[in-house]
Amino acid sequence: MCRVMSSIDNFKVLQTGRDYVVVNASGGYENHSHFESYKGAVTCIDLIKRRKVPKSSYLIKAAMRLTTDSDYRRDLERIGEKRLQKQRYINIGCKGR
């Protein structure tokens, strides 16, 4: 079972037994995302409403899933792609121990 915690514009925040789910009511099934805390869910909704790009890689992916705005999604993909690339560290002093 889940219960509706709040409704913000087109978004609904649902509390399940183990996490919080944000659903975009104007989108389809694919427009939902899971969060560990209520504050994280509301923060993501606020960033989407203001069309800001989150710093967290998890919030970037969640915003991409939740939004129905194609221009904002394109911005998230373009900027988020740069942030999501991991730097690979190679210790040159260590030669294959």
> Which amino acid belongs to residue 73?
R
Whole-structure pTM value:
0.79
CA dist 34 to 40, 63, 68, 92, 94, Å?
Answer: 10, 11, 17, 40, 41
**Per-residue pLDDT for the chain (97 aa), expressed as one digit of tens each?**
788 988 998 999 999 989 999 999 998 889 999 999 999 999 999 999 999 999 888 999 999 999 999 999 999 998 877 766 666 777 777 665 5
Quick one: which of 78, 51, 82 has its CA closest to 67?
A: 51
